[in-house]
Amino acid sequence: MTTAGPPLLARYLALAWCGLVVYGSLHPFSGWRDTGISPFAFVEGAWPRYWTVFDLVANVTVYIPLGFLLVLAFVGLPGRFTPALVATLLAAAISFCLESLQTWLPSRVPSNLDLACNTLGGVIGAVLADRTGPRFFARLAAWQQRVIAPVPHAELGLTLLGVWLLVPLSPEILLFGAGDLRQALGLSGAVPFAAPSFMLIEAAITTCNAVAVGLLAGLLAARRSIAYPFVFLFLLLGLVVRSLAAAVLVSPAEAFAWLTPGAQVGLMVGGVALAVALLLPLTPRLILAAMSLMAATVLVNLAPPNPYSAAALAAWRQGHFLNFNGLTKLVSTLWPFATVPFLLVVGRRV
């Protein structure tokens, strides 16, 4: 795994964050129409009539990581300030293109204020990266050598783990329940709802996903001595994200609503299975991780409707969080289909 020059990890993360920004800016990707208005008219428009402090802060905040990561991705360019300048211009260009495309979306309103806030966020991120870049790279290189195993495409694996943390942010899905294609394909659950069957399927989904994600995290651990704490802390972080998302996006009283009997059984069984699986050689671990993830995805698409889902979705798919919900839903849908090929490719290279 490379540690000198522009790190692949920064490039993967910049690309992933850019994809999330594009999706969040153009969600829900429906109702496109030509209004006869120039897509660049918003640049010359007056100050927007409707705006909130939340929108301004969000538009700045979302582009700070983009500017930061773009500087790290372009750090090999010649010139002291070239990476920061290129990152700033690219962040502004991305925002300009997205605002222009919003002209054809009935649910979105292009705004010169949004463009200004996005560009400001890119500038802040670029400046932060330029100021902290040398120290950041030194610490990143030391961390890679100390913690991350030199497996093929390890940077992509780390990116997939980071993106997975968006999956628990969807409080309406079953715990760790990624890969649900039913809404996209207009399908319904194949198993009718009944408390015993729902609990079993929920436990199986939690178990299989915990094993798959845990083995992916364990694959990237440099030594077996740190594999167990690394895996445990990462899965614990996923549960913390789940609780915080439910508390903030639904209500504080719902922070631990995900800890159902099925989820409890799934976590216990998954923890035991994972502890044993981490002792296996690398190739069997990769095979087991891929099979667990495929089994979990099949079960998610067979599961009966989650009785908690409708209430949670109604509570948080409102106002500012509408586009965020679409973003987390997309990530939870596609994550297994990006991770299984990664596991198969790594399996062929080791």
- What are the domain boundaries of the chain? 8-147, 154-349
Question: What's the CA gap between 135 and 150, in Å, rounded?
Answer: 22
Instruction: Give the distance, in angstroms, between the CA of residue 181 and the centroid of all CA atoms in the same chain.
Output: 17
- What's the mean pLDDT when you consider all of the chain? 81
pLDDT in tens, 171-188: 777 888 888 887 767 666
Instruction: Report pLDDT for 3.
Output: 41
Taking residues 188-197, what's their average pLDDT? 65
The structure tokens listed for 247 are: 């508390």
With a cut of 80, say whether residue 264 has pLDDT above it.
Answer: yes
Taking residues 131-147, what's their average pLDDT? 72
261 prior amide bond cis, ω within 30: no
Instruction: Report pLDDT for 312.
Output: 55
With a cut of 70, say whether residue 14 has pLDDT above it.
Answer: yes
pLDDT in tens, 205-245: 999 999 999 999 998 887 777 888 989 999 999 999 898 88
**DSSP secondary structure string, 168-235?**
GG-TTSPTT-----HHHHT---SS---HHHHHHHHHHHHHHHHHHHHHHHHHTBSSHHHHHHHHHHHH
Instruction: Report pLDDT for 80.
Output: 79
Higher pLDDT, 47 or 238: 238
With a cut of 70, say whether residue 302 has pLDDT above it.
Answer: yes
Question: What's the CA gap between 98 and 26, in Å, rounded?
Answer: 7
Taking residues 15-44, what's their average pLDDT? 78
Q: Indicate the pTM of the whole model.
A: 0.72
Q: Three-class SS of residue 221?
A: strand
Please, are residues 70 and 86 in contact by the beta-carbon 8 Å criterion? Answer: yes
